[in-house]
Structure 1
Amino acid sequence: MQLELRHLQAVCEIAEAGSLGGAARRLGISQPALSAQLRRIERVTGGELFVRGRHGVEPTPLGQFVLAKARRVLHEMDALGADTRAMSTDDPLRLGCIMLVLLDGLLARTDLALSGREITVDLEDSVTALVRMLGAGRYDVIVYGEVNDHVVPLPGGVLARTLVPREPFCIRMSARHPLARHDDLELADLADEQWMTLVEDDDGGPEALIEACAKAGFVPSLRYRIIDRKMRHDLIAAGRAIALSQPTAPVVDGTVMRPLVGTPITGRIRLAWNRSSVSALQADVLYRAAAGSYLANIDNHPFHRAWWDAHPEVHPALD
């Protein structure tokens, strides 16, 4: 038997998963089948590649050597696929996104940057679904968010880059709300409000809101979960609800945006892509297009411009 790319992938998956069972699930095969495959690989390499340790299976010295070579080969094959695909404008670039504020300007910038290559775009309301479809090859690249310390696990074969490491979530409320005259808000002063829940419920947002409200001494009344943006804004303008919002969200008639004292809830924006279908050059083009789209919305609200200027450490890396 000669080693094939699938054998190298199996070795890498075992090392990354830390167990045969976990690797088998990732590869979509049974654990006995993977065990048998590993034994055949070990016969070719001339010795054991993994031993059972305190934290699952661990590579032997021979295993570490094979892993290093396997990762290099797989990386080169991924790069070859991405580079050749990047040279062809026949296949569309498939973009998945939930960051509606960012998306509004991203498409025009990407169209210009990619010299007319066709782009297909899907909007999702679940980060989990977005990431799963990226791993399955449904998308080539995704833009998504994480709230506070929540980290979205990414599948194998995916690379990611943080666009904005931290932005302060704020409150959108009716312009007629008694608290609208304040420059900023104490979270505790919103204890009696009806809240619009976040559309994305698996990015850490709901947990972050509930935890922050608990520290402020109350449990939020999460009454509405509405995807349609116009309907959300109409309810808020009518004074029937308030909502967490990104600070780059657009100005909406009848509503105002106010920052929270102490920034108890923050967001993070990331770009992730399949390294087998997106080249390093394309990933950089997409990153810069997304950064330009975000920066174009900094001045939507004066308080965010002031916060942004005071925190240069969170600015996108464009050098």
Structure 2
Amino acid sequence: MQLELRHLEAVLQVAEAGSLGRAAARLGVSQPALSAQLRRIERVAGGELFVRSRSGVEATPLGDFVLSAARRVLGEMDALTAGTRATAPHPALRLGCILLVLVDHLFGHLEKELPSVDIDITIEHSATALVRTLGAGQYDAILFGEVGGHEVPIPDGVAVRTLTPKEPAFVRLSASHPLAEQEEIELADLAGETWTMLTDDGDGGPEAMANACRQAGFTPKLRYRIADRRMRWKLIAAERAISLCQPTSPYVEGTVLRPLAGDPVTGRIRLAWNRAAVCEQRASQIYQAAARAYLDSIPTNATFQAWWESRPELHPTLDQV
């Protein structure tokens, strides 16, 4: 076996995530599969690259050497990719997104803002990995969320603009849940529930949820980590779990979406772009498209619409059309 770029990427992910579990989630593979791959890489490298510690994994001296070389090699590949795109006559816009509700409405608005541009949109599950790959040149722009004051590290050469500075998390319950008829739910009343959430998405969401629950006097029972949105909805409709959701989430048969009293968990949505690939005018066009897509999703929830309309300071700045 010879080392390939994907092997170097895996080693970097383990180092950056600090654990095999988090790295596996970012790479979209199982932890046993990543462990087996790492053992094969270590056999080629000639020794252990990481050792386990109380806080996760730490690089060995050999691991530090391989990581340094991996960053250099992958950086050269990113520069090659950026160079070829710079000389291409009509490069496509490469847009990465985490699983935000506004993406459902985004395509039409992008086509209006950028009618002659080919658009390549990819959905990722980790905001941290998304930002890092943007800095590495794999995307031109990205849309991502941050929850509970969490800030994803922004690499050099990347500009950021906040689309929505504050958005409260709502809770999705089965329509037959005893609390489903309430207009607003106290988080403490959900202490005995089983929860489902996305796989580790690097946006601070799990930490914000755990902290809010702790302040409400309980530790949440998290049983399901599922990336597929519709599968999560089916679990909830079947009364097997509940979940925090964006307040703009659509109506789902068999479920209800309710606000949490006092907005104990909030987040924000941001746009970031690689300055070397996206000019200010194009960044503004992407922002306009994303803002209008977000606004399109607000009327799906009358409760959130009232919350939103009472807070004009949170509204995105739109160009006149």
The answer to whether TM tops 0.5 is yes
RMSD value, Cα: 2.4
Q: Aligned-pair distance for 1:164?
A: 0.1
Amino acid at match of 2:272: A
* Corresponding residue of 1:213: 213
The total of aligned residue pairs comes to 244
Q: Deviations over 1:197-220 (max 9, x none)?
A: 233431110010000000000000
Amino acid at match of 1:260: L
Distance 1:289 1:183 in 2: 32
Moved more, 282-291 or 95-104: 95-104
Partner SS state of residue 180, structure 1: coil
Distance 2:89 2:118 in 1: 7
Distance 1:108 1:158 in 2: 26
Q: Aligned-pair distance for 1:191?
A: 0.2
Amino acid at match of 2:122: D
Partner SS state of residue 248, structure 2: coil
Q: Deviations over 1:116-161 (max 9, x none)?
A: 3111111110111101110111000000000011011111000010
Partner SS state of residue 305, structure 1: helix
* Corresponding residue of 1:311: 311
Question: Which aligned pairs between 1:117-156 and structure 2 lie closer than 5 A?
Answer: 117-156=117-156
- Which runs of 5 or more residues in structure 2 are unaligned? 1-67, 73-81
Amino acid at match of 2:275: R
* Corresponding residue of 2:257: 257
Label 1:88 to 1:311 Cα distance change in 2 as closer, same or farther (>3 A): farther
Partner SS state of residue 284, structure 1: helix
Distance 2:89 2:206 in 1: 40
Q: Deviations over 1:19-50 (max 9, x none)?
A: xxxxxx7x956xxxxxxxxxxxxxxxxxxxxx
Amino acid at match of 1:233: W
Partner SS state of residue 257, structure 2: strand
* Corresponding residue of 1:233: 233
Distance 1:223 1:133 in 2: 30
Q: Does 1:110 align with 2:110?
A: yes
Partner SS state of residue 183, structure 1: coil
Q: Aligned-pair distance for 1:318?
A: 2.0
* Corresponding residue of 2:288: 288
Amino acid at match of 2:271: L
Identity of counterpart residues, as a percentage?
54
Distance 1:312 1:181 in 2: 29
What TM-score comes out, normalization by structure 1 length? 0.72
Q: Aligned-pair distance for 1:115?
A: 1.4
Q: Deviations over 1:255-295 (max 9, x none)?
A: 00000000010010000000011010000000000000000
Amino acid at match of 1:171: V
Question: Which aligned pairs between 1:27-38 and structure 2 lie closer than 5 A?
Answer: none
Q: Aligned-pair distance for 1:90?
A: 1.8
| Runs of 4 or more above 4 Å deviation | none
Amino acid at match of 1:257: L
* Corresponding residue of 1:301: 301
Amino acid at match of 1:140: D
**Is residue 89–residue 118 contact of structure 1 (8 Å, CA) maintained in 2?**
no
Distance 1:114 1:203 in 2: 29
- Which runs of 5 or more residues in structure 1 are unaligned? 1-24, 30-80
Q: Aligned-pair distance for 1:231?
A: 1.1
* Corresponding residue of 2:22: none
**Is residue 184–residue 259 contact of structure 1 (8 Å, CA) maintained in 2?**
yes
**Is residue 109–residue 289 contact of structure 2 (8 Å, CA) maintained in 1?**
yes
Partner SS state of residue 189, structure 1: helix
Highest Rg: 1 or 2?
1
Q: Aligned-pair distance for 1:313?
A: 1.1
Distance 2:250 2:88 in 1: 36
Amino acid at match of 2:153: P
Amino acid at match of 2:109: R
**Is residue 208–residue 265 contact of structure 1 (8 Å, CA) maintained in 2?**
yes
Q: Aligned-pair distance for 1:251?
A: 0.7
**Is residue 158–residue 273 contact of structure 2 (8 Å, CA) maintained in 1?**
yes
**Is residue 198–residue 244 contact of structure 1 (8 Å, CA) maintained in 2?**
no
Amino acid at match of 1:212: A
**Is residue 196–residue 224 contact of structure 2 (8 Å, CA) maintained in 1?**
yes
Partner SS state of residue 236, structure 1: helix
**Is residue 89–residue 117 contact of structure 1 (8 Å, CA) maintained in 2?**
no
Amino acid at match of 1:298: I
* Corresponding residue of 2:185: 185
What TM-score comes out, normalization by structure 2 length? 0.72
Partner SS state of residue 241, structure 1: coil
